[in-house]
């Protein structure tokens, strides 16, 4: 039976094409304005979102809703407790954009280490003295701190090691077999990793457990020459503490693709700082990654609509109700 799949924010057309080929109706939401969306979602059996909020009220406005799909890994924009209480599976696409995000994290590192932005501005403004006053960094042999070791963290560590850096990994597990399997050094104490690393790259999901994981005390542990890179979720860093550290030159610099508020307001003090590189949450937005992610998400949604358990079920507590056989 054809089901209405409502896409809240535009995704690569490969995803909608896949859902249509499976016999489902696909529609892009006309607006994210609350009242309009509550009305438009009424007949949806599937809702697909990138970072738009899907809360209990939205779920209740769609009584036939059978699946919520998240374009990417982070699901902090979905009320998981509400979805689970209503028996609605939430699916995501871990790993689909891992390569692109890992490349972007390293691009931010290179920008900071080689002062690409300031150097480019120097050329455009005729600042010949930049060459003689700049302090550039060679990355070979640098300790590359990886905070979080999901698909993106693993790929970033792999690329960093290929470039001659030495990855050092912290995860929320005291003994993480994935780190050992990758042949990398594991540091179970976050403070010690921060003190040792020349670069700290964050790869953690959002949510209460990781909110402001990197705050004043943690930034104070970092080397004065260290770079902090965040392509994960803005709330993982206490932005006020980071701004203070950057203003005081207490760390070498920061590369940020995500922020506590997105889009980043022009009034943010981050905008006026020269020792920070800012990009607008585009790490996973390469053509290849967008195609893979949209296709992976559409496949998950179709599986649920067709009565099958998806590969990437976030709220596993709904499984026994929906797929009693083999639900574990």
Q: Which residues are catalytic?
A: 233, 262, 281
DSSP assignment letter at 251: S
Does residue 197 contact residue 223 with C-beta atoms inside 8 Å?
yes
Cis, bond preceding 320 (omega within 30 deg of 0): no
Upper half-sphere CA count for residue 237 (Cβ side, 13 Å): 30
Kindly report the number of other CB atoms within 10 A of residue 63's CB atom.
10
| Residue of 92, 103, 50, 93 lying closest to 67 (CA atoms) | 92
Distance (Å, rounded) from C-alpha 280 to C-alpha 102? 16
Nearest to 313 by CA among 70, 64, 1: 70
Structure tokens at 180: 């050992």
Q: Report the C-alpha gap between 138 and 109 in whole angstroms.
A: 11
Q: Which two tokens stand for residue 65?
A: 């809703």
**Chain centroid, CA 248 distance in Å:** 28
Neighbour tally for 305: CB within 10 Å: 20
Residue 239 and residue 273: Cα distance in Å, rounded? 13
How far apart CA 212 and CA 220 sit, in angstroms, is 14
Pinpoint the alpha helices (H) of the chain.
Answer: 14-21, 34-40, 56-60, 80-85, 98-114, 116-125, 130-133, 151-162, 177-181, 190-196, 216-221, 239-247, 287-305, 319-322
Phi, psi (rounded to 5 degrees) for 132? -100, -15
């Amino acid at each position: 039976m054809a089901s209405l799949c409502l896409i809240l924010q535009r995704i690569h057309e490969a995803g909608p094409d896949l859902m249509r080929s499976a016999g489902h109706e696909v529609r892009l939401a006309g607006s994210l304005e609350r009242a309009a969306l509550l009305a438009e979602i009424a007949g949806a059996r599937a809702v697909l979102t990138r970072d738009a909020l899907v809360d209990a009220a939205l779920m209740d406005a769609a009584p036939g809703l059978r699946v919520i799909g998240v374009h990417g890994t982070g699901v902090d924009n979905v009320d998981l407790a509400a979805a689970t209480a209503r028996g609605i599976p939430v699916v995501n696409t871990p790993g689909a954009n891992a390569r692109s995000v890992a490349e972007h994290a390293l691009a931010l590192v290179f920008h900071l280490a080689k002062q690409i932005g300031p150097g480019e501005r120097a050329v455009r403004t005729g600042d010949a003295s930049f060459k003689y006053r700049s302090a550039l960094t060679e990355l070979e042999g640098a300790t590359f701190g990886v905070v979080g070791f999901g698909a993106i963290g693993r790929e970033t560590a792999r690329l960093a090691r290929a470039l001659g850096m030495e990855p050092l990994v912290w995860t929320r597990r005291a003994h993480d077999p994935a780190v050992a399997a990758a042949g990398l050094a594991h540091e179970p104490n976050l403070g010690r990793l921060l003190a040792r690393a020349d670069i700290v790259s964050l790869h953690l999901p959002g949510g209460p457990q990781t909110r402001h994981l990197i705050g004043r005390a943690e930034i104070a542990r970092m080397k004065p020459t260290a770079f902090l890179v965040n392509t994960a979720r803005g709330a993982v860093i206490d932005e006020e503490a980071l701004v203070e550290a950057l203003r005081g030159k207490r760390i070498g610099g920061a590369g940020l693709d995500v922020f506590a508020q997105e889009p980043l307001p022009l009034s943010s003090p981050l905008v006026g700082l020269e020792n920070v590189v800012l990009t607008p949450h585009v790490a996973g937005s390469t053509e290849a990654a967008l195609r893979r992610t949209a296709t992976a998400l559409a496949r998950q949604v179709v599986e649920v609509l067709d009565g099958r358990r998806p590969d990437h079920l976030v709220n596993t507590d709904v499984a026994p109700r929906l797929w009693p056989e083999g639900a574990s």
